[in-house]
């Protein structure tokens, strides 16, 4: 049974079993980020990270679009007093919302429909598994407006797709189709329009059914070894996988369940 745990004018967070679905909810603005949305989404990511019952997140947008980046008009209008206080308490809050800093140590599945532009494609790069409807459009258009993509794309994109394709997207600011995004490795799954969230939920459920400690450890190793040499990465991998995982109850339950031909009952211990 799903449970709406945070509902504000500009975002929605919903828990269903081990899955937390975060919905950007400004469809009239193609789900561009507002101050209210930044604060709420940052809180949702903290919840995903801190709650042991939550094993995977989904990020999507309402009304047929994913996200068109920052709403410069909304930012120019300023933050409310409460939002200003939150920013004063945590000056990094907006970067945490955009997954530039402080990413949850749980995987996130992106469900993309329609527009996924500028900050939309930037936050996309901080997710692990990505699904897009076939009519989705993706791109990082900041240079077309004389701006710089501060969400991390000049660093992350060239590590995720071929350098020349990253340069193409970043320097031209052009938009690409979901199919082209899949061909260059930016998107993993392309589905009929309107089905991205269903496919994302299917994949999230598969992740959530696995050993949660194992999933977190695999994710930790992937992130921490990404910029290492192969030799250093292999050495570091052993420090994560062997001592942390193989002595857990889950590591015993998985093989036992396989032997007994039943679904494992992972407890995260």
Active-site annotation, residues? 122, 142
Q: What are 137's two structure tokens? A: 């459009």
Q: Which of 128, 124, 129, 131 lies closest to 105 in space, CA to CA?
A: 128
189 Cβ contact list (under 8 Å, min separation 6): 129, 130, 131, 132, 182, 199, 203
Give SS3 for 158. helix
Burial of 87 per CB tally in 10 Å (0-12, 13-18, 19+): middle
Q: Which of 226, 225, 254, 227 lies closest to 238 in space, CA to CA?
A: 225
Residue 173: alpha-carbon gap to chain centroid: 22
Residue 8: alpha-carbon gap to chain centroid: 20
């Amino acid at each position: 049974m799903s449970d709406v745990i945070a509902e504000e004018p500009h975002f929605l967070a919903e828990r269903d079993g081990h899955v937390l679905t975060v919905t950007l909810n400004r469809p009239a603005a193609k789900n561009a980020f507002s101050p209210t949305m930044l604060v709420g989404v940052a809180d949702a990511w903290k919840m995903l990270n801190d709650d042991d019952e939550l094993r995977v997140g989904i990020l999507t947008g309402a009304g047929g679009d994913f996200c068109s980046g920052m709403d410069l008009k909304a930012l120019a209008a300023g933050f409310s007093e409460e939002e200003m206080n939150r920013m004063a308490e945590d000056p990094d809050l907006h970067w945490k919302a955009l997954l530039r800093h402080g990413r949850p140590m749980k995987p996130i599945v992106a469900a993309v429909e329609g527009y996924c532009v500028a900050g939309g494609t930037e936050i996309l790069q901080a997710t692990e598994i990505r699904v897009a409807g076939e009519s989705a459009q993706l791109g990082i258009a900041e240079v077309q407006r004389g701006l710089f993509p501060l969400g991390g794309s000049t660093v992350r994109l060239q590590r995720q797709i071929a350098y020349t394709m990253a340069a193409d997207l970043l320097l031209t600011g052009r938009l690409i189709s979901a199919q082209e995004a899949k061909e260059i490795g930016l998107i993993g799954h392309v589905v009929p329009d309107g089905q991205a969230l269903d496919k994302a939920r299917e994949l999230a459920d598969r992740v959530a059914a696995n050993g949660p400690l194992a999933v977190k450890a695999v994710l930790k190793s992937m992130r921490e070894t990404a910029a290492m040499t192969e030799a250093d990465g292999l050495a570091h991998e052993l420090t994560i996988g062997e001592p942390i995982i193989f002595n857990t109850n889950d590591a015993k339950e998985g093989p036992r369940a396989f032997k007994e031909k039943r679904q494992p009952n992972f407890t995260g211990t």
